[in-house]
Every structure is written in C-alpha cells, then in structure tokens.
Amino acid sequence: MASVSPQRPNAEKVLIIACGMIAREIIAVRDMSGLDHLDLTCLPAEFHYRPDRIAPALDAAILKARAQGYGSIFVGYADCGTGGDLDRVCAAHGVERIAGPHCFAFYQGLADFTKVAEDDMTSFYMTDFLCRHFDAFFMKPMGLDRHPELAKDFFGNYEKVVYLAQTETPELEAVAIRAADMLGLAYERRFTGYGDLTLALKKAHQAAITST
C-alpha cells in the first residue's frame, strides 16, 4: 500500500514504512493534521503473525526508499515481537521507529500502558483493524470457523477481551463483543484514539519541514 503526494520531490518528504495493520490510522492522522510532507508505504499486515519477517523486509524497504531519493524515513512499527531485530535494522540505516513494544502499547500511550501492562497479561487485545478483519486474521487461519471448539485451546489462558478503539464505530465494537462471547471471556472497551502515533508522526513531519 502506498499513498504518495507528487507535488513535492521525495527529498523534501518523509517516507513512513509501516505495518499494514496501522495504514488506515496513519492516513487518518496525516490527513486530519495536515501532515503533507508524509508519504506512506506498508509491509504486509500478516507479518503480525510472522515477526521474523519484519526486519528483513524493512531492511529491503529502506534500501528501496533511499534509491527513490527520500530524504527522511520513519518506521511505523514498534518492536512488534522482533526481539530487537527491528532496532538493529533501524540503527544500521540511521532511522527511528515508533517507541514501544507493540501497537497495543502506543495506541494506549506508553505511560498509560505501563500502568496496566501487568494486569493485562491475560487480556486479548483487539483494535479497529483486528475487528475489521476478525474473520481473516483469526477465524479462518485458526480454523475456528470450522472447529469453534478449538477456541479453548487457543485462548484458554486469557481472561478478557480488551477492545482498544481508535474510532467511535459501533459496528466494530459489535465484532469485539461477539469475539468475547465466542471465546467465553469478559469484555472491556477502552477508547484510545490514535495514542502516541499522532505525536510520532507530527515529530517526523516537523523534522522534514525543518530540514527543507
């Protein structure tokens, strides 16, 4: 996925290389905040389940962006289960990423996440994206559409579903509630908006403006 503004040469802009799971949210923040120096390209959302693929793919994406003449690059990932591999790629190329262990943390804001992290150890997080793609990301890959009895095997250690809502969308919350009912878990909704993502993108945008 890419969203490019042809009015400016690449050297004057920041390319956000992001997880496909947060593409819609990045575009929303960019457009609402008038961050017109930002372009976006995304790695596949399914890397959420294959974190070993994220760092090599990011390395290749950064090299491609450099060849396209981008003056600045910002990584739209937290660590996301890479065990520090993502940071090693970022350091090698001199680029920064969103702070935090995963998107569930930066959506809540790292300070707020730290307060609840221990209590949330048995919570299954959902976001707008995961509600929107619940069947494709959970039901079908895990075989739950054919064998719902497997839910206890996959989710037996969880106690509740926590829906981290980026938007006020009742249809998406209905999916989260249905998931909690299906899994036999308690349910909690937390409206987070875009959390630390907004500040991170504004900083990347300001850096591009300052350098031009």
pLDDT of 5 over the 50 cut: no
Do 11 and 87 share a structural domain? yes
Do 198 and 97 share a structural domain? yes
CATH of the domain at 18: 3.40.50.1860
pLDDT of residue 62: 98
Mean pLDDT score, 93-102: 97
Do 129 and 206 share a structural domain? no
Token pair 């060849």 is found at 67
Do 18 and 94 share a structural domain? yes
Query: What is the spatial distance between Cα 77 and Cα 79, in angstroms, rounded to a whole number?
Result: 6
Query: What is the spatial distance between Cα 64 and Cα 47, in angstroms, rounded to a whole number?
Result: 19
Tokens for 30, please give them. Answer: 């960019």
Do 186 and 198 share a structural domain? no
Do 97 and 199 share a structural domain? yes
SS3 helix, strand, coil % of the chain, rounded to 5?
Answer: 55, 15, 30
Q: 178, 77, 82, 84: which is closest to 126 by C-alpha?
A: 178
Which range, of 7-11, 71-75, 80-84, 99-103, averages the lowest pLDDT?
A: 7-11
Q: How confident is the model at residue 140 (pLDDT cuts 50, 70, 90)?
A: confident
Mean pLDDT score, 109-125: 96
Domain range for 157: 110-191
Do 202 and 166 share a structural domain? no
Condensed to tens digits (0 to 9), the pLDDT of residues 169-202 reads 999 999 999 999 988 999 999 999 999 999 999 9
Q: How confident is the model at residue 8 (pLDDT cuts 50, 70, 90)?
A: low
- Contact criterion met (CB below 8 Å) for 132 and 171: no
Mean pLDDT score, 23-31: 97
Tokens for 205, please give them. Answer: 């945008």
Q: How confident is the model at residue 120 (pLDDT cuts 50, 70, 90)?
A: very high
Do 131 and 52 share a structural domain? no
pLDDT of residue 69: 94
Do 117 and 55 share a structural domain? no
Query: What is the spatial distance between Cα 161 and Cα 122, in angstroms, rounded to a whole number?
Result: 9
Do 185 and 115 share a structural domain? yes
Which has the higher per-residue pLDDT, 136 or 117? 117
Which has the higher per-residue pLDDT, 51 or 152? 51
What are the φ and ψ backbone dihedral angles of 194, each rounded to 5 degrees?
-100, 0
Query: What is the spatial distance between Cα 175 and Cα 169, in angstroms, rounded to a whole number?
Result: 10
pLDDT of residue 4: 44
Do 122 and 63 share a structural domain? no
Q: How many domains does the chain have?
A: 2
Q: How confident is the model at residue 149 (pLDDT cuts 50, 70, 90)?
A: confident
Do 97 and 13 share a structural domain? yes
Query: In whole numbers, what is the pLDDT of the chain averaged over residues?
Result: 91
What angle separates helix 23-33 from helix 196-211, to the nearest 10 degrees? 60
